[in-house]
Amino acid sequence: MKKLFLFLFLSFLINGHASSHSLLESVNSDHRIEKNTLRDKYRNPYETLSFFRIEPEMTIVELSPGRGWYTEILAKFMYDKGRYIVAPYNPNLGGYAERLWKSYNEFLKSNEVYSKVETTFLFDKLAEDNSVDAVLTFRNVHNWINNNDENAKKIFKQSFSALRSGGYLGIVEHRAKKETSFEDMYKSGYMTEKFVIDLAKKSGFLLIDKSEINSNSKDLKNYPKGVWTLPPSLRLKDEDKSKYLEIGESDRMTLLFQKP
């Protein structure tokens, strides 16, 4: 009887603990902030991370984690077996970078699940060369194309160096119409698929898959404040707010690259 009890107890610990850190359980975890979970219908985290082939024992780098929307999920998913590194902007840049770091750093202190999150800074070395299984970034490439896209080129090259052979680069980005000029991409926040794919290919990556998981056919991409007109930013505040809420978040490309 004691042996049976011990077997059942150990099974509960092993199976229960493992399931609590499955991807689906991590997405549905009650430690996530409600306002973030409400965006799941636009951002499709379970489907997106599955498409990016993320496994819990990997070493992952997330570029520009913002205020931690994906950190909530990845920190829990990677907690037991993996290694999760984030690369926010260096607060020494001042201004927005400093404010964002302060907010994100406080967020990391808010729950024990974030205690294993490792931090480096964007434009610094992301990790040891050939040591990372996947680099991910969500809705950030448009922020890197200032300075004649030199920042973007540097980040893609650093990502390539950090990844092992066979490692993945997963990108979700606001999708522009095919004919959009570089100037209009910079102003609007929408990027053409061709521009993003070319950036990755020039850094040595191979495009191995793309998905419509995060597409939105309601997004007309012709707004006064660019992509920031739509939620969650809603730059026009109450002006036509109901219309933009009805559209929802932007139409997005979802691209998977691999280092040869």
Q: Please report which confidence band the pLDDT of residue 16 belongs to, taking 50, 70 and 90 as the band edges.
A: very low
Alpha carbon distances (Å) from 21 to 29, 32, 109, 120: 9, 13, 20, 24
Lookup: tokens for 145: 């194309």
Q: Within a domain: residue 63?
A: yes
Q: Within a domain: residue 237?
A: no
Q: Within a domain: residue 233?
A: no
What percent of the chain lies above the pLDDT cut of 90? 90
**Contact status, residue 54 vs residue 60, Cβ threshold 8 Å:** yes
Q: What is the DSSP string of 82-137?
A: -EEEEE---GGG-HHHHHHHHHHHHHHTS-GGGTT-EE--TTS--SSTT-EEEEEE
- Rounded Cα distance between 125 and 159, Å, is 9
- Rounded Cα distance between 135 and 60, Å, is 6
CATH number, domain containing residue 150: 3.40.50.150
Among the listed ranges 20-29, 56-65, 109-118, which one has the minimum average pLDDT value?
A: 20-29
Q: Is the pLDDT of residue 32 over 90?
A: yes
Q: Is the pLDDT of residue 13 over 90?
A: no
Q: Within a domain: residue 23?
A: yes
Q: Within a domain: residue 76?
A: yes
128-149 pLDDT per residue, tens:
999 999 999 999 999 999 878 8
pLDDT on residue 258: 98
Please state the length of the chain: 260
Q: What's the chain's average pLDDT?
A: 93
Lookup: tokens for 28: 């549905």
Q: Which residue has the tokens 């070395």?
A: 125
Q: Within a domain: residue 228?
A: no
Q: Please report which confidence band the pLDDT of residue 11 belongs to, taking 50, 70 and 90 as the band edges.
A: very low
Q: Within a domain: residue 188?
A: yes
pLDDT on residue 148: 80
The boundaries of the domain holding residue 28 are 2-218+252-258
- Mean pLDDT confidence for 177-202: 97
Q: Is the pLDDT of residue 115 over 80?
A: yes
Q: Which residue has the tokens 């998905």?
A: 211
Q: Is the pLDDT of residue 12 over 80?
A: no
Does the global pTM surpass 0.85?
Answer: yes
Indicate the number of domains in the chain. 1
Q: Within a domain: residue 229?
A: no
Q: Please report which confidence band the pLDDT of residue 7 belongs to, taking 50, 70 and 90 as the band edges.
A: very low
**Contact status, residue 118 vs residue 85, Cβ threshold 8 Å:** yes
pLDDT on residue 21: 73
